[in-house]
């Protein structure tokens, strides 16, 4: 049985179609951009990205989107050579990360939502032995985005700034696509209809006849594919998080180990009416249950 939440999100009857603007990276343009991140080196091309690398850092610029990643070679990710007292405080981390992101507004015009903080945790120890050494080695400021008050979902619209013990920005990335709003509209379908499609899909149809599957969270948003993927259109989707419920007589440890899943279900019954480029057909991506 598919156990649905009591309340489902409400979705506008239609949503604008947002087309992406191809990034148009060139070797020279990639090298110029890398200079903004402090890396002065020519760009080398590979299939998915341009790479600029100097003695200190490496910048990858993703050819399919307006995305980049910067990594410092000396980043002490496991915190083995310096102490935790040098990690910036939460306030300093947010201030420094905001300044860094603001300095790159010419590539990414959307306003980020206020960042959340997370930490890289390192643990060293002997199995079953003395208490393990547990330390925080870096703080991460995480940015998400929204469009028309709907969150951008999936891997391709987010940013992160990581600061370890060096006093510098050790890692950073921005995954993004520039978009333009068109006159076209998606005709959406309500969450209940999307859940019906989910229940009938080959991924769920059989198992829900024999087991209980509980849907815990349903959110509507725009799906943004990985920064390495060409994407013509932002896709309206329901992001659904759920779990398989274990049998009532299952051992306690089974009940405490959640059998979770995360899926994306199309929030429109059809693909956009006028595909922009037939060679990269605007069909639902493999990540989406249509």
Partner 1 sequence: MGLIAIEWVLEYHDRWTNPANTRANAEGFYNTLNATQKFAHGDDDAQDKHFEQSGVGAPLAGSDTAKVEKVDMVYFAGHATSLGFEFGVEKDDARAKPAEIRWGDGRLKWVVLNACNVLVDNPGFSAIDRWGPAFRGLRYILGFGSLAADEATRGGLFAEHLNEGDMISEAWIKACEATEESGTVWAYLRADGNGVSTERDTWIDDADTRNKPNPPGPLHYLQGEV
Please give the residue ranges that form the binding site for partner 1 (CB under 8 A): 46-48, 51, 69, 71, 77-78, 80, 118-128, 132, 137-138, 140, 142, 144, 153-155, 158, 160, 162, 173, 175, 202-204, 206-207, 209-211, 213, 226-229, 239, 241, 244, 253-254, 257-263, 286-287, 289
According to DSSP, the residues that pair with 239 across neighbouring strands are 219, 264
Least distance in angstroms from the C-beta of 193 to partner 1:
20
Query: Residue 136 or 271: which CB sits closer to partner 1?
Result: 136
Least distance in angstroms from the C-beta of 1 to partner 1:
13
Query: Residue 35 or 48: which CB sits closer to partner 1?
Result: 48
Least distance in angstroms from the C-beta of 250 to partner 1:
11
Q: How many other CB atoms are there within 10 angstroms of residue 18's CB atom?
A: 21
Q: How far apart are CA 67 and CA 19, in angstroms?
A: 16
Least distance in angstroms from the C-beta of 209 to partner 1:
8
Are the beta carbons of 110 and 147 closer than 8 angstroms?
yes
Q: Is residue 97 exposed (0-12), middle (13-18) or buried (19+ Cβ within 10 Å)?
A: buried
Are the beta carbons of 87 and 136 closer than 8 angstroms?
yes
Q: What are phi and psi of 86, to 5 degrees?
A: -90, -5
Question: Shortest CA distance to 137 belongs to which of 157, 154, 119, 159?
Answer: 119
Query: Residue 83 or 180: which CB sits closer to partner 1?
Result: 83
Which are the contacts of 36, defined by CB distance < 8 A and separation ≥ 6?
103, 104
Query: Residue 126 or 192: which CB sits closer to partner 1?
Result: 126
Query: Residue 54 or 273: which CB sits closer to partner 1?
Result: 54
> What's the CA angle centered on 242, arms 218 and 14, to 5 degrees?
20
Least distance in angstroms from the C-beta of 45 to partner 1:
12
Least distance in angstroms from the C-beta of 268 to partner 1:
19
Are the beta carbons of 259 and 242 closer than 8 angstroms?
no
Q: How far apart are CA 107 and CA 34, in angstroms?
A: 12
Two tokens, residue 252: 């306690």
Query: Residue 15 or 225: which CB sits closer to partner 1?
Result: 225
Query: Residue 182 or 246: which CB sits closer to partner 1?
Result: 246
Least distance in angstroms from the C-beta of 40 to partner 1:
20
Element (H, E) at 16: strand 14-20
């Amino acid at each position: 049985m598919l156990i649905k939440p009591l309340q489902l999100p409400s979705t506008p009857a239609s949503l604008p179609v947002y087309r992406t603007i191809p990034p148009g990276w060139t070797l020279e343009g990639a090298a110029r951009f890398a200079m903004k991140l402090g890396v002065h080196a020519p760009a080398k091309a590979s299939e998915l990205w341009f790479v600029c690398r100097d003695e200190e850092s490496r910048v990858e610029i993703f050819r399919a989107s307006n995305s980049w990643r910067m990594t410092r070679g000396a980043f002490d990710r496991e915190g083995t050579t310096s102490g935790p007292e040098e990690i910036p405080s939460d306030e300093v981390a947010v201030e420094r990360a905001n300044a860094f992101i603001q300095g790159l507004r010419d590539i990414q015009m959307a306003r980020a939502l206020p960042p959340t903080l997370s930490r890289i945790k390192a643990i060293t120890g002997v199995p079953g032995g003395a208490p393990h050494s547990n330390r925080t080695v870096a703080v991460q400021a995480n940015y998400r985005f929204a469009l028309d008050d709907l969150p951008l979902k999936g891997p391709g619209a987010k940013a992160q700034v990581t600061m370890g013990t060096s006093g510098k920005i050790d890692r950073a990335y921005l995954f993004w696509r520039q978009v333009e709003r068109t006159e076209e509209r998606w005709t959406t379908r309500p969450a209940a209809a999307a859940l019906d499609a989910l229940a009938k899909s080959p991924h769920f149809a059989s198992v829900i006849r024999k087991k209980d599957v509980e849907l815990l969270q349903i959110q509507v948003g725009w799906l943004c594919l990985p920064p390495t993927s060409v994407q013509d259109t932002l896709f309206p989707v329901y992001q659904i998080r759920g779990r398989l419920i274990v049998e009532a007589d299952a051992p306690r440890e089974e009940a405490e180990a959640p059998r979770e899943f995360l899926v994306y279900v199309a929030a429109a019954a059809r693909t956009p009416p006028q595909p922009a480029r037939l060679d990269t057909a605007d069909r639902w991506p493999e990540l989406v249950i249509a």
